[in-house]
Amino acid sequence: MATGVERFVERAAARGLEVVPREFPEGTRTAADAAAAIGCDVAQIVKSLVFVADGRPVLVLTSGANRVDLDRVAAQLDATEVRKATAAEVREATGYGIGGTPPLGHDTDLAVLLDADLTRHPVVWAAAGTATHVFALAPDELLSATDAVPAEVADEAG
């Protein structure tokens, strides 16, 4: 069975995205950990967060510097209830664990919202299937490969 990073690289290639994962054995589980390991600004880290909107999982790709505003996500999706997915729901929807969830290549087809703040950087970094692997790409590549909808999802403070 392929590892999380191998499975992700294969799935990304199937979407036309060449991924070159970088491994950081100390881990990149949080946005701050990833930014410190990579040597970039925390705002360049893509957090791949799964939420449940009216019973359906949805992926929100947000800047590591931001917190997701559930009301904004609900408005974007025309949903009445949005909550953070449990660890089991994340794994069921994506095939990956929290902290290593990549922005694409999931087990199920998810609606994807992309934090507009991510488009302000020439390069962003995202998890590559494990909590120790990341990859770099341009925001326009991220948008294209994920079929994401750009959205204002960050809370006012973020």
**Which residues on adjacent β-strands are paired with residue 154?**
68
Classify the C-alpha dihedral 72-114-99-63 as positive or negative: negative
Q: Is the pLDDT at 158 greater than 60, yes or no?
A: no
pTM: 0.94
Quick: pLDDT tens for 43-87.
Answer: 999 999 999 999 999 999 999 999 999 999 999 999 999 999 999
Structural domain boundaries in the chain: 4-13+20-151
The answer to whether 37 and 136 are in contact (CB under 8 A) is no
pLDDT at 68: 97
Query: pLDDT at position 27, please?
Result: 72
User: β-strand 22-23 against 133-137: which pairing, if any?
Assistant: antiparallel
CATH assignment, 4-13+20-151: 3.90.960.10
pLDDT for res 1: 55
For residue 80, report the phi and psi dihedrals to the nearest 5 degrees: -90, -25
Radius of gyration (Cα) for the chain, nearest Å? 14
- DSSP string covering 84-121: EPPHHHHHHHHSS-TTT--SS--SS--EEEEEGGGGGS
Q: What is the mean pLDDT of residues 18-22?
A: 93
Give the per-residue pLDDT at 25. 80
Structure tokens at 127: 């998890």
